[in-house]
Structure 1
Amino acid sequence: MSTPSVLSDDDPVPGTAAASETPRRTRVSGIDRALQILDHLYHTEKPWTAYAIAKAIGAPLSTTYAIIDDLIARDLLTHRGDKEVWLGPRLYHYGLAYAHSLDFLSRATHEMHELCREVGETVQICGRDGDRMVVLAMADGPGHFRVTSEIGTRVPLNWTASGRLLVGHLGEDERLNLFRQSAKMSPTERAETDPVLLAGLSRQALKDRLSIQISETDFLVSCVASPICNRLGECVATISIVLPEHKVVEKRDYYGDAVRRASEKVERALGWRDP
């Protein structure tokens, strides 16, 4: 926003509760003020004038006008009538995207538990956070085998089967630069770190809809992952089976086929894959 990142709020609007108190210097960031404005409109469920908003939230009038102008310019607010403002169309698109993400995670979590029951192993839903893979959801297998990663765990993309899939849809140069900047040696020192090789493996894994890593992050722990892709072919997340190394070696096709079926079910349920 064009407003300062930190605003001095020692000149409240006359008539507010803040003005009746002993003057006390406080500092509120521009983004906090913007959120106060949006929250006020949301909770009252009706348009307001800038003056009325400033009075309601106890903010300087000049600051409120400046922030409202910025929000209107960015379609986060819109004019209603001559002087009143209301929530803008950009917020609607954000809301739709958020709601869709909830639908996705709900559907993916359902299939995660189904796959866990089918194969009897730990299953995870993973996504990408910049140059890291992050565990979004997990269902523990019924056996004694346990994995060290938990929900919220973030690791370099080159350490995991899922990490490679999550960037497989990116352009060649983007994948190459990403791995050049982020590839790191894993605790077992078995994870691939060569950016050129990783870029190729990533693209091929997405094409095959299957990625397998064996003991690259943790000794004797392996992962069999399949991508969950949207209509554009972008890998938005993965579903993966985490299990002992010897099981992958013995039944590679079994686990590979199971995880691919699960990812396809998620895509079909969300309308990203034809029935």
Structure 2
Amino acid sequence: MASSSESTRARGVDRVVALLRQLHDARRPLSMRELIESTGAPRSSVYELVTILTDAGWLETRPDGSVFFGREMHYYGADYAVHNDLISRAHQTILSLVKVHDETAQLCMLEGNKYTVVLSENSARPFNISSDIGVRVPIPWTATGRLLLAHLSADEIRALIPDEDFVLDNGTRIVFDDFLHDVERAAQLGYCCTEGLSQTFRCCMAAPIRDRAGHAVAALCFMTGRDTDPSKRAAMLDDLIRSAKALSQTYAR
């Protein structure tokens, strides 16, 4: 049975995690009042945690009193990117894909029951289509989500995805059986392409990066417009599949 002091420390850690998560979800500096309201922690605790984390360089306080991530957090993220073999190699692959095709390329993964962009490089064109890194998006809204669920049964998929996540941001509901068909077809094809799901004019192409067991653990993606020339789309998809297979071979060793 945990002691009172251990329980207090655990609550403190939970509050730190909640505070950092709120800043990430907001993707902007938050006032102390916003942090207190969003975390539900006592006012005194939030002020104490912000002081401790600011002294450690994890947070920075702006002149207006708002709080955001500090420089130390950038260093930690950079360390992770350098020493995570898949992310390090995928970054070079994405840079190459963008250079060749001049379209936004990304590395995407699942985070719990959501999809998220881990790496993203935009095209040099004035108009590009992208998603923010680390933002959690409903799985049915994405091509990647259809690829990364191939190893699950229909019941497991239904249990994983909240019912509300089958409703797109435009109010359209994706029928579960249609989504399941998409997952099965993506598994058969070895890639997935979707159009107009989370954004009306967006086309998403995704190819799986597989682990030693053959499970799709991540995906390389292209984001382009629905009006992109079919011949260019075909070339992009071929290069995407080839690149994902190359990363899978390295990742599986």
TM-score range, shorter chain: 0.5 to 0.7
CA RMSD of aligned residues (A): 2.8
| Aligned residue in 1 for 2:2 | 3
Runs of 4+, deviation exceeding 4 Å: 98-101
TM-score (norm 2): 0.65
Aligned counterpart for 1:154 among listed residues 124, 136, 140: 136
Q: Deviations over 1:243-262 (max 9, x none)?
A: 11111655432222111011
Matching residue's letter, 2:149 = V
Residue matched to 1:233: 214
Deviates more, 1:207-216 or 1:170-179: 170-179
Cα–Cα, structure 1 residues 258 and 188, in superposed 2: closer, same or farther, change >3 Å?
farther
Residue in structure 2 matched with residue 261 of structure 1 by the alignment: 242
What code does the residue aligned with 1:7 have? Answer: S
Q: Is the 8 A contact 1:131 1:182 kept in 2?
A: no
| More helix per residue | 2
Shift of 1:270: 2.3
SS in 1 for 2:156: helix
Match of 1:21 in 2: none
SS at match of 2:140: helix
Within 5 Å, give how 1:116-265 maps onto structure 2: 116-179=98-161, 181=163, 183-189=165-171, 193-247=174-228, 249=230, 251-265=232-246
Which residues of structure 1 form unaligned runs of 5+?
Answer: 10-26, 33-97
| Aligned counterparts, 1:10-159, within 5 A | 27-29=8-10, 102-159=84-141
Aligned to 1:57: none
Query: Residues 7 and 30 of structure 1 are in contact (CA less than 8 Å); yes or no, is this contact kept in structure 2?
Result: no
SS in 2 for 1:147: coil
For the pair shown, the structure with the greater C-alpha radius of gyration is: 1
State the 1:187 CA deviation.
2.3
Retained in 1: the 8 A contact 2:130–2:223? no
| Contact 1:169–1:233 (8 Å) recurs in 2 | no
TM-score, normalised to structure 1's length? 0.60
8 Å Cα contact 2:120-2:130 kept in structure 1: no
Identity over aligned residues, as a percent?
A: 24
Whole-angstrom distance in 1 between the partners of 2:106 and 2:183: 19
